[in-house]
Structure 1
Amino acid sequence: MARVHKVLIVGGGIGGLSLASGLRNRGIEVDLVEVKQEWTVYGVGIILQCNAIRAMAQLGLVDRILDAGYAYEGMGHYTAEGEFQRMLPGERAAGPEYPPNLGISRIALHQVLSSTAAEKGTAIRLGVTVEKLAQDPEGVSVMFTDGTQGRYDLVVGADGLYSKVRSMVFGKELKPRFTGQAVFRHNFPRPPELDHLAVYYGHHHNSGLCPLSKDLMYMFVTSSEPGNPRVPEDQLAELMRDRLKEFGGLIGQLREQITDPKQVVYKPMEVIFVPESWYRGRVVLIGDAAHAMTPHISQGAGMAVEDAVVLSELLAEDAPVGALLSRFMQRRYERCKFIVESAIQIGEWEMQGASHADRSGVVKKMLEVIAQPI
Structure 2
Amino acid sequence: MNPSVHKVLIIGGGFSGMTAAIEFRKRNIDVHLVEIDPNWRTDGAGISIGGATLRAFKTIGILDEFLKVGHAHSGLDLFAPHGIHIAKLPTPLIGDKDIPASGAIMRPALAKILAEKTRASGTKVKLGCTYTQMINSATGVEVTFTDGTTDTYDLVVAADGVFSSVRKSHFPEAGEPRYVGQGVWRAVLPRLPNVENTMMWVGPHLKVGVNPMSKDQMYLFLTEDKKERQQVDPADYVEKLRALMLTFPAPMIQELAGMLNEDSMIDFRSLGNLLVPAPWYKNRIVMIGDTVAATTPHLASGACIGIESAIVLAEELCKDVSVEEGLAAFQQRRWDRCRMVVENSGRLAQIEIEGGDKAEHTAIMRESMMALAQPI
Shorter-chain TM band: over 0.9
Contact 1:235 1:261 in 2 (8 A): no
Q: 1:315 & 1:65 partners in 2: Cα distance?
A: 27
What SS does the aligned partner of 1:137 have? coil
What SS does the aligned partner of 1:30 have? strand
RMSD: 1.4
Q: 2:354 & 2:263 partners in 1: Cα distance?
A: 28
- Match status 1:100 vs 2:101: yes
Q: Alignment partner for residue 299 of structure 1, among 298, 301, 318?
A: 301
Contact 2:10 2:156 in 1 (8 A): yes
Give deviations 1:16-37, integer Å, cap 9, x for gaps.
1111111111111111111112
TM-score (normalised: structure 1): 0.97
Q: 1:206 & 1:12 partners in 2: Cα distance?
A: 31
Contact 1:233 1:261 in 2 (8 A): no
Q: Deviation at 1:189?
A: 0.7
Matches for 1:224-235 after TM superposition, within 5 Å: 224-235=225-236
Aligned position for 1:238: 239
Q: Which amino acid aligns with 1:302?
A: C
- Match status 1:254 vs 2:251: no
Give deviations 1:312-346, integer Å, cap 9, x for gaps.
11121111111100011100011110110000001
Contact 2:45 2:265 in 1 (8 A): no
- Match status 1:144 vs 2:128: no
Q: Deviation at 1:220?
A: 0.6
Aligned position for 1:188: 189
Contact 1:8 1:152 in 2 (8 A): yes
Aligned position for 2:350: 348
Q: 1:94 & 1:63 partners in 2: Cα distance?
A: 18
TM-score (normalised: structure 2): 0.96
Q: Which amino acid aligns with 1:143?
A: T
Q: Deviation at 1:62?
A: 1.6
Between the two proteins, the alignment pairs up a number of residues equal to: 374
Stretch deviating more after TM superposition (233-242 or 168-177): 168-177
Aligned position for 2:292: 290
Aligned-residue identity in percent: 35
Matches for 1:1-40 after TM superposition, within 5 Å: 1-2=1-2, 3-40=4-41
- Match status 1:64 vs 2:65: yes
Aligned position for 1:317: 319
Residues 46 and 32 of structure 1, relative CA distance in 2, 3 Å threshold = same
Q: 1:269 & 1:357 partners in 2: Cα distance?
A: 23
Aligned position for 2:84: 83
Q: Deviation at 1:207?
A: 0.6
Q: Alignment partner for residue 281 of structure 2, among 276, 279, 282?
A: 279
Q: 1:127 & 1:356 partners in 2: Cα distance?
A: 46
Q: 2:106 & 2:84 partners in 1: Cα distance?
A: 27
Aligned position for 2:154: 153
Q: Which amino acid aligns with 2:171?
A: F
Q: Alignment partner for residue 268 of structure 1, among 267, 270, 277?
A: 270
Unaligned runs of 5+ in 2: none
Contact 1:199 1:206 in 2 (8 A): yes
Aligned position for 1:332: 334
Aligned position for 2:371: 369
What SS does the aligned partner of 1:92 have? coil
Q: Which amino acid aligns with 1:368?
A: M
Q: 2:26 & 2:348 partners in 1: Cα distance?
A: 37
Stretch deviating more after TM superposition (115-124 or 33-42): 33-42
Q: Deviation at 1:257?
A: 2.4
Residues 119 and 331 of structure 1, relative CA distance in 2, 3 Å threshold = same
Give deviations 1:102-145, integer Å, cap 9, x for gaps.
21110110010000010110111111111111022221100111
Unaligned runs of 5+ in 1: none
Contact 1:234 1:261 in 2 (8 A): no
Q: Deviation at 1:242?
A: 2.3
Q: 1:202 & 1:273 partners in 2: Cα distance?
A: 28
Stretch deviating more after TM superposition (106-115 or 145-154): 145-154
What SS does the aligned partner of 1:288 have? helix
Q: Which amino acid aligns with 1:234?
A: A
What SS does the aligned partner of 1:304 have? helix
Q: Which amino acid aligns with 1:120?
A: S
Contact 1:6 1:30 in 2 (8 A): yes
Aligned position for 2:55: 54
Q: Deviation at 1:87?
A: 1.6
Q: Which amino acid aligns with 2:361?
A: R
Matches for 1:185-224 after TM superposition, within 5 Å: 185-224=186-225
Contact 2:312 2:330 in 1 (8 A): yes
Q: Deviation at 1:259?
A: 3.5
Contact 2:176 2:274 in 1 (8 A): yes
What SS does the aligned partner of 2:33 have? strand
What SS does the aligned partner of 2:83 have? coil
Q: 2:214 & 2:261 partners in 1: Cα distance?
A: 23
Give deviations 1:325-371, integer Å, cap 9, x for gaps.
00111000111101100000010111112254511100111011101
Give deviations 1:120-172, integer Å, cap 9, x for gaps.
10111111111111022221100111211111110011011000111111017
Q: 2:150 & 2:183 partners in 1: Cα distance?
A: 39
Stretch deviating more after TM superposition (195-204 or 79-88): 79-88
Q: 2:327 & 2:95 partners in 1: Cα distance?
A: 25
Query: Where do 4+ consecutive residues of structure 1 move more than 3 Å?
Result: none
